[in-house]
Structure 1
Amino acid sequence: MSSSRDMSSSLDMSSSLDMSSSLQSAELRLVVLGRTGAGKRSAVSTILGLDEAPRGAEEGVRQECSKQRGEAAGRRVAVVSSPAWFGPGCDLEERRRHISSFVALSSPGPHAFLLCVPVNQPAEGEAEALNVLRKLFGASAVEANTIVLFTHTEELEEEEQLEDYLSAWRKDLKELVQACGEHYHTLEPRGGAAEEAKAVEELLEKVEQAVRARGAQHCSGALYREAEERVRGRQVELVRQRRGASPADPQPEGDVTEEEMEAVRDAAERSAGDFNVDVDGLFPRSPDSPAPSFLWGLWGKLTGWTSWLPRMMRMEALLGALVSLFVGGPLGGAMGATVGSVATEVGRRRTKQTK
Structure 2
Amino acid sequence: MATAGSVSELRVVLLGNSWCERSSVGNFILGAAVFNTKEEWDRCQRASGEREGNKVVVINTPDLLHDNISENRLTEHLKECVRLSHPGPHVFLLVLQPEHFTEEHKQRLCRVLERFSDQSFDHSLMLISPSREEGSGLMEQPPLQDMIRKCRYRYLKWKNLQLPELLTRLGQTAKENNGEPVSCEVFEDATSALPDDHQSQKPKEIRHPLTEAVKAAGM
Q: Equivalent residue of 1:178, what SS?
A: helix
1:49 corresponds to which of 23, 28, 31? 31
CA contact (8 A) 1:42 1:52 kept: no
The residue aligned with 1:206 is: 169
The residue aligned with 1:290 is: none
- For 1:193-232, what aligned pairs fall within 5 Å after superposition? 196=161, 198=162, 200-227=163-190, 230=192
- Larger % of strand: which? 2
- Relative distance call for 1:66 and 1:52 in structure 2 (3 A) is closer
Q: Equivalent residue of 1:155, what SS?
A: coil
The residue aligned with 2:211 is: none
- TM-score, normalisation: structure 2: 0.76
Unaligned runs of 5+ in 2: 204-219
- Relative distance call for 1:72 and 1:43 in structure 2 (3 A) is farther
Distance, in Å, in 1 between the alignment partners of 2:115 and 2:34 is: 33
- Relative distance call for 1:57 and 1:227 in structure 2 (3 A) is same
CA contact (8 A) 1:29 1:106 kept: yes
CA contact (8 A) 1:29 1:112 kept: yes
- RMSD of Structure 2 on Structure 1 (CA): 3.2
The residue aligned with 1:80 is: 59
Distance, in Å, in 2 between the alignment partners of 1:179 and 1:40 is: 21
Distance, in Å, in 1 between the alignment partners of 2:91 and 2:107 is: 17
Matched-pair identity in %: 22
- Relative distance call for 1:87 and 1:93 in structure 2 (3 A) is same
Structure with higher Rg: it is 1
Distance, in Å, in 1 between the alignment partners of 2:77 and 2:3 is: 35
The residue aligned with 1:66 is: 45
Distance, in Å, in 2 between the alignment partners of 1:150 and 1:269 is: 34
CA contact (8 A) 2:79 2:187 kept: no
- Relative distance call for 1:71 and 1:166 in structure 2 (3 A) is farther
The residue aligned with 1:7 is: none
- For CA contacts below 8 A with separation 6 or more, give which structure has more relative contact order: 2
The CA deviation string for residues 10-56 of structure 1, in whole angstroms up to 9 with x for no partner, is: xxxxxxx7125x42xx1110000111456111111111112386763
The residue aligned with 1:342 is: none
- Relative distance call for 1:55 and 1:214 in structure 2 (3 A) is closer
**For residue 217 of structure 1, what is the amino acid of its counterpart?**
E
1:132 corresponds to which of 112, 126, 151? 112
- Larger % of helix: which? 1
Q: What count of residue pairs does the alignment treat as equivalent? A: 200
Distance, in Å, in 1 between the alignment partners of 2:168 and 2:114 is: 23
Unaligned runs of 5+ in 1: 1-16, 190-195, 239-266, 272-355
Q: Equivalent residue of 1:134, what SS?
A: helix
